[in-house]
Each structure stands twice: as C-alpha cells, then as structure tokens.
Amino acid sequence: MSCSCHLSTAQKKTTILGTILKKIEDNVTPKEKENNSYPEKKPIKINTSIIQTENDEVIKIPILFHFVHKDINLLNEQAKKTYTKKFYKLITLLNEGFNEVNPNNIDHPYNLKIGKANIQFYIPTKEFDENCKLINPISFHNTSQEFFVEKRKDPILKNNGYVNSEHYLNVWICDLREAHNTLKIKVGYATKNRIYPTYDGVVFSLVLFNEMEKTQKYWSSHEIGHYLGLEHIWGTDDELGNIICSLDDGISDTPRQNGPTLDKNGNKFIELDEVKKICLDIRDGNYQNFMDYSAYVEGMFTKDQVKHMRDYIKKNRSGLLIKNNCNGSVVSTIPTIINTNNSETSGSICIANPNYYNRKVVLTHKFTSQKFELFVNPQSKGSENKYCLYELPLGIYRIEVYTTFTNSRVESFETPITSRETKRLKLDQNGYN
C-alpha cells in the first residue's frame, strides 16, 4: 500500500475529470494540436542475442492501462492522446527507476547497494490474447461509480479492460480514495499474487497523473515493487510508523528500519529529522528506497531486492514472459529462450538426487496445455540417481507435485524450459523448489 494524501477542497475539484479538461488542453502544444501527434506506438524489439548470465538477462513485462472514470465521456480525442502520452511517460520513468539510478543521488552506504533490475516495462501494441484478438493496450471506460477504494476483489473497477493477468500486468487508473476516510486520496495499491486472477494487477490514483507528476517514478516503482513480491522496507506492515523491530522485509541487504519515512512537514522534502533510523541504532535507514514512503527522493532498489523480484517473477509470474503470436506457436520475452539459428526446439527436465520418493510430477505447458508426467520412485530411478523427461517443447511449465499414495498435491510452481540444456530441480521435504 502507498501513502495517502489529504484531499483539499481544491483537489476535490480538480480530481473531477470534467473540471480538468481545460488544464489538459493547456498542456498540449500548438504543434501537437495541429498534427494530433503523440508517441508513436512501437512494440519493443526482443533482443535475439543469447545472454550468457542470468543477471544480464533482460526481463520484459507488458503493461496495459485501463482508465476508469464517471466522466470519461467528457474526454475528447486530444485529451485521450494527452493521457496516452502520460502513460508512455510512466513507462519511461519505471524503466529509469528499475535500471538507471544515479548513485550520486543516494546517500552512503546505500549507494554501494544499488541494484540494476534489468527489468524493462513496455506497452504492447501488436500482441494477442488467448482468443487471438488484438489487445488494446490503453483503454478508456465510463463508470457510474463516484470513486473507488482499495479492494482485493472489485469487479466494478477491474472488469474494465481486463486482459489475462497471467500474461499481462493490468494497471487501472481511477479516482481512488482511502476506505476509512474518502476525503483522502490513496495513491495506489497492488496485488502480490494471483489468488484471484481476474483482479490481479495495480491500481493508481488519477491524481498521480495530474497533480503528483514529480513523485510518479517513486510511487509507481513502489506499487510495482509490491506486485513483484517486495514488502515495505520496515517490515510486513505498520503504516502508523510504530517501532516494531521484530518485523522485517525478508531482504538481507536492507536495514531493519523502525518505520516509514514521511514528509510530515508537508514541504515536499525529506528533512533530517524526518529520516527513520535503523532499529536500536543511531544510523539512518535506507529512506531513499522505493519501498519506503519518502516519495520526494531519487529512489532505489538494493541488489537483494532486485534478486528477490527477479526470482519472484520466474517462480510466481513467469507467464508474463511468454506471449501467444496466434500462429500455433509462442513468443518468449526471455532472451535465453530465443535461439538465432532456430535449431533448438526442445529441452529436458530432471529431478536430481531427490530426498523423498513416491512422488508424481505433472508438467503442463502454459500455452499448448500439453501434459507430461514423471514418477519419482526407486523402481523408476534413472542413471546417476536422477529422473528425467526429454524432448519437451520449450516454454513455461506449470509444475505440480503429488504424493503417489494419496494423490495429494504437495507443491505447485512455474518454471521456464529455455534450451536443450537440462533443467534440474531438487526435491526437499516440502516438494520441489
């Protein structure tokens, strides 16, 4: 969750879409009005060179924007193009925040811990859904609802524009308020898993695009950090800033901070007396971290936060990396899946040195739905104490592990098979990891 801001009388007026149209028109240059110009929609080209190391592997995540408002019909075509430019600008800011942090703007010693995520966000313009229908990456939707509050399941909001969240990050923009006080703006919120797939994604306040543009990079990186599995830097949750130093974010190179850093003075600047300290220490916390609440700073992720997000994508959101091109095959945005000579079309998977036997492993190809089974028991043991399946089509697989005695599922996760090189999994007492 993000910091909330008090909604003044002036803000209440400007968040009503009909009253900000003039402001939008004023921001459009005469040349743009004449030419109706806005950023050309070009899909990002996939780098077909094979990347050798996992840390250099560029992960590309497609973002779809769904603008939902009760006055959306008041937007003319020029205003829609203006918002389209804002969404493209947000993509640029996200890519800067995840990949191009200037260490000169980060305090020591945290400037030595800056991680480059190698995660690129893009707006897909020539991609298809599971029904081979061309996806509309930026859509505008009218609603009868005055405003919205944070809800994990909100069909009134999230049915608008939704595209399969397994393969796309859906972002909704609306008039978003705090549930306990609807006079306060809520900047945004994100879901961290796909328990409810049709509601999975990120929601941003319209105010973030109209009145808070200076903090767009920070808050958008913050919420998408949540979407990719990160907690607040001070721990699982304590938005009041209470010192609960038993809580932690589970990241080894972030300090155990004693609460969120807030601009309490309201001067749009983090002063020294506002910086939170490390628990039981006089040193400053990592207040410039995107997973704090400081907002008016450069922003950064640490190296271990980056590793956590990349691991989280590959384990929990790997479907984002595979696309359907509607000609009977799939397209991957993982560079190592792409082979320039097109000679590799299959790979292998092995269970090496399992600690527990009597397991059935079911592999399901995420796009073709092909199923493969592997039984792990002493009678089926292969050479070198491993169990393998060969000649598997490349792609993302759903791995489900069952006990052979009760047929109970003990583990479920996703993994890519990206080349002819064998993918190795290990079995522990909880299943596979």
What CATH number is given to the structural domain containing 377? 2.60.40.1120
Q: What are phi and psi of 20, to 5 degrees?
A: -105, 0
Q: Are residues 393 and 305 in the same domain?
A: no
Does any domain span residue 332? no
Query: How many CB atoms sit inside 10 A of residue 225's CB?
Result: 25
Q: How many domains does the chain have?
A: 2
pLDDT of residue 232: 92
In a structure prediction context, what are the per-residue pLDDT tens digits for the chain, which is 433 residues long? 545 544 443 344 334 454 444 444 444 444 444 444 433 333 333 232 222 234 568 899 999 999 999 999 999 999 999 999 999 999 999 999 999 999 999 999 999 999 999 999 999 988 888 778 889 999 999 999 999 999 878 999 999 999 999 999 999 999 999 988 999 999 999 998 878 888 999 999 999 998 888 899 999 999 999 999 999 998 865 555 455 677 788 899 999 888 888 887 766 777 777 888 888 888 888 999 999 999 989 899 999 999 999 999 988 898 898 776 665 445 555 433 322 233 345 777 877 655 556 778 888 887 677 888 888 775 554 444 567 888 888 777 888 888 877 788 877 777 777 655 566 665 543 333 3
Given 280, 315, 350, the domain boundary residue is 315
Q: Are residues 309 and 419 in the same domain?
A: no
Q: Where does 149-265 have alpha helices with state H? A: 155-158, 207-210, 216-227
Domain interval for residue 145: 4-230+301-315
Two structure tokens written together for 391: 């000649």
pTM greater than 0.75: no
Starting at the edge strand found earlier in the chain, the sheet holding 346-352 runs 386-393, 346-352, 423-425
pLDDT of residue 7: 43
Q: Are residues 100 and 189 in the same domain?
A: yes
The residue among 240, 256, 260 whose CA lies nearest residue 248 is 256
CATH number of residue 163's parent domain: 3.40.390.10
Does any domain span residue 273? no
Q: Are residues 40 and 116 in the same domain?
A: yes
Q: What are phi and psi of 360, to 5 degrees?
A: -110, 130
Q: Are residues 139 and 73 in the same domain?
A: yes
Query: Which residue is associated with the tokens 């947000």?
Result: 90
The residue among 191, 189, 211, 209 whose CA lies nearest residue 200 is 191
Output the CA–CA distances (angstroms, integers) from residue 56 to 49, 51, 230, 334, 335, in the order listed: 12, 7, 21, 11, 10
Output the CA–CA distances (angstroms, integers) from residue 218 to 3, 184, 248, 290, 430, in the order listed: 11, 19, 21, 6, 38
The length of the chain is 433
Assess contact for 331 and 323: CB atoms under 8 A: yes
Does any domain span residue 100? yes
Two structure tokens written together for 112: 């030595």
Does any domain span residue 196? yes
The residue among 317, 325, 316 whose CA lies nearest residue 129 is 325
Helix axes 77-99, 17-26, angle to 10 degrees: 80
Q: Are residues 89 and 207 in the same domain?
A: yes
Q: Are residues 306 and 386 in the same domain?
A: no
End-to-end CA, the chain: 29
Q: Are residues 358 and 305 in the same domain?
A: no
Does any domain span residue 16? yes
Q: Are residues 310 and 396 in the same domain?
A: no
Q: Are residues 348 and 390 in the same domain?
A: yes
pLDDT of residue 426: 58
Query: Is the bond preceding residue 109 a cis peptide, omega within 30 degrees?
Result: yes
Q: Are residues 68 and 133 in the same domain?
A: yes
Does any domain span residue 84? yes
pLDDT of residue 86: 95
Buried b (16+ CB within 10 A) or exposed e, 23-40: ebeeebeeeeeeeeebee
Does any domain span residue 287? no
Two structure tokens written together for 98: 């995840």
Measured CA to CA, the distance from residue 212 to residue 168 in angstroms comes to: 26
Does any domain span residue 296? no
Q: Are residues 223 and 89 in the same domain?
A: yes
- What DSSP designation does 276 have? P
Query: How many CB atoms sit inside 10 A of residue 139's CB?
Result: 15
Q: Is the dihedral of CA 260, 264, 267, 271 positive or negative?
A: negative
pLDDT of residue 240: 56
Task: Using only the alpha carbons of the chain, give its radius of gyration.
Answer: 23
